[in-house]
Amino acid sequence: MSAFPRGGDRSQSGHAVGQKRQNEDSIFGSNPRTKRIEIVQTPKKKRKGDEATSKSNAAAPSVAVGLGMTKQVEDSKTLKIDPVTFNKLNTGTLVIGYVLQVTSDRVVVSLPGSSIGMVAHHEISDVLYKMKMNRSSNRDQVKLPDASLLLTPLQFVRCYVLDQVSKDESNANSKKIIRLSMRASLINRGLAMKHVSVGFPLYGCVASKEDHGYVISAGINGANFFLPVKALPTTKSDLEIGQPIECVTTAVNDGAQSATLRAHPKAVYEALTRSGNLAFTSLIPGMLVNCVVDKKVENGVLVNFLGMFYGVIDMSSLARPLSSADWAASISEGETLHARIVLVDHATKSIRLSLRPHVMEMRGPRNLPALGEVVEDLTVLTVQKTAGVLLARNKAAAGMDVEEDAEESKGSTKRKAVEAAIKAQREKDEEIVAVFVNKSSLAASLDPEEQDSAEVIDFDRIPKVYKVGGSVASVRIKGYNLVEGWAIGTNMTDFVEGQVVHSTDVKVGQTLPVEVVSIKDFGLVVRLGGGGGKVTAVCPTFHSADVVVDGKLKKRFQVGQKLNMRVWETSASGIIMSNKKSIVELPKEQIVSSVTSSETDLGKVITGVVSDVNVQGVLVRFFNKVRGTIPMSVLVAQGVMDPEEAYRPGQILRSVVIGKVLPQGGDAAKAVLYLALNINKDINAVLKLIDQ
């Protein structure tokens, strides 16, 4: 059998071996359940009761195990694959995802169909979950390892859907989020040791570190798994307790209910699930299976695998983005291919698979445009009035003929030739930059001069304005759908030409036009210019004016008012703006945003804001949380005997750098600048006073 073929014919080669129906029995056995599903059957002489049997067979795709997300198109005998939507990701659904962001208390995961899920810190693995439970029941406070040590952005992960909950539990109409778990005991709950054989892929987490390797917990009762250090890639020789890990079985001891594992990436993503004793409840997202294309439907194909299961591969999960007019020619009924399971829903008996190159190799997608980048000269691939438009650049990437290339060699050389050709084709497939534009982000017109900068298209007009094969001049990237390997964007002029469409576009020291969204007790909530209402920031009362006006914000500002503000600081929790005239008009070269920058060299005059005045001196804040202090001894030397009378919080202050303290390790957050007043006094005398 050829090595790791994928879906597609010679126009999308590298995805198919070209093996036809005559080889199907040798792959799947002669089980009658592996025979192709036929929607329209050849008429034959009917006997009593045949009519009911015929109707039952015709309906087979809608009830077959794995085809729960298919439906019949209205007024047609054609089947259609339902899209993966937020509401379809219900409790118990198993699904793959990609890490979008890792914070101190949670992991944000990109799921199929543009959905986003959240994994709490203790749900990353069974080990962390037990540590959390033990900490709750005991007085001893056991610190969980930092999530950033366990997971990285763009990492392939397997997830279990816990539930959908409201962000604000006090508000019934609040937007819901999907809560996920990565615990192997939930994901592998259908597996038993009898399913584990040599070459079987296994997901788990590091339970403990031993002299020669790691004990791996896979959530299978009574089973023990060991990962030797020598079976790890050199880049992962030191694992953290509780860290999720993908492995493949290299040896099994049935008597001891134990197995030895290997964790080299290539061995893991090439591990083919072949076990014939797996039940539907034993299927897990991430499994690579050998399957046969059974039938083409309106927006994808039905496949069968492991002799008894069916699944679907929709257009968005083909090896490369193709137009609705071209995709059907890229794959043929009866072909054999390798595909990876991406979703299993036991409640609806649904199985979805993917041929996407990064999913096949269990890694993050490549060649994604950066957030905020403007991608130009795109071609319309698909148009869906209920969803949006899929665009692509470099649509004409040429296919390769893996089968013919492979035939030039024999034996093991042939296998290497096939692997090399598949790898080359996957790289070529990923050169295609695909951007999905949701219907709510589509401009009303393709002509920028005709469209209102903030006008969204009437959904009924989408197929009239956007046509397959047509062009879209430019799109601004504002997010990612990592499972499909697409960027998410908009072609609305307000976004494309705006300065800010995502928080990552915001840099400390930028001067931006803003619009007041609301006025709160703590300050102003503002919408950043050009963001189309998506990126907001806070201007605290402290920064609302050169002279702080506590309790008078509603008298000085109005909702909808447009202002120019400067970005004071950014963090994972939000963006802080300053409306102080002296800060907004400060020359760019005088901005202090780092203790180690040249602007803080000895003798430099810098501008900041007084944050506190006390018996120790005057505390001053600068951009990006840089801290400074004018010690009382310096103030006295410069003639200031009562700083609490002379200075007030919020006051603009120009000062001179006379020193800096950098803690060991260079932690800039703990660094402090020592300052003196910028007045006509002898600074050298002040420095001598400090030395004393």
- Domains of the chain by range and CATH? 191-278 (2.40.50.140), 503-584 (2.40.50.140), 589-691 (2.40.50.140)
pLDDT tens for each residue of 451-485: 555 567 788 888 888 998 899 989 999 889 999 99
The answer to whether 379 touches 397, Cβ cutoff 8 Å, is no
The answer to whether 536 touches 566, Cβ cutoff 8 Å, is no
Q: What is the pLDDT of residue 344?
A: 96
Is the per-residue pLDDT at 623 higher than 80?
A: yes
Give the single-character DSSP code of 193: G
Mean per-residue pLDDT for 505-530? 87
**Tokens of residue 601, six digits:** 């060299």
Q: How does residue 172 score in pLDDT terms, banded at 50, 70 and 90?
A: low
Task: Give the least confident one: 221-230, 432-441, 575-584, 594-603.
Answer: 594-603
Residue 645, classified by CB atoms within 10 Å of its CB into exposed (0-12), middle (13-18) or buried (19+), is exposed
- Give the C-alpha separation, 471 to 66, whole Å: 37
Indicate left, alpha or beta for 473 from its phi (over 0: left) and psi (-120 to 50: alpha).
alpha
pLDDT tens for each residue of 59-103: 344 446 778 888 877 766 778 899 898 889 999 999 999 999 998
Q: What is the pLDDT of residue 62?
A: 40
| Closest among 224, 186, 184, 221 to 204, alpha carbons compared | 184
Is the per-residue pLDDT at 390 higher than 70?
A: yes
**Tokens of residue 8, six digits:** 């597609």
- Give the C-alpha separation, 524 to 104, whole Å: 27
pLDDT tens for each residue of 10-58: 334 334 433 433 333 333 333 433 333 433 333 444 444 444 433 333 3
- Give the C-alpha separation, 494 to 533, whole Å: 10
The answer to whether 202 touches 218, Cβ cutoff 8 Å, is yes
- Give the C-alpha separation, 236 to 275, whole Å: 29
Is the per-residue pLDDT at 434 higher than 80?
A: yes
Give the single-character DSSP code of 100: E
Higher-confidence residue: 36 or 280?
280
- Give the C-alpha separation, 534 to 517, whole Å: 12
Q: What is the pLDDT of residue 627?
A: 92
| Closest among 315, 322, 292 to 399, alpha carbons compared | 322
pTM above 0.85, yes or no: no
Backbone angles phi, psi at 641, to 5 degrees: -90, -25
- Give the C-alpha separation, 316 to 294, whole Å: 18
Q: What is the pLDDT of residue 677?
A: 87
**Tokens of residue 136, six digits:** 């709750």
Reduced to 3 states (helix: H, G, I; strand: E, B; else coil), residue 592 is: coil
- Give the C-alpha separation, 127 to 142, whole Å: 12
- Give the C-alpha separation, 82 to 55, whole Å: 23
The answer to whether 564 touches 514, Cβ cutoff 8 Å, is yes
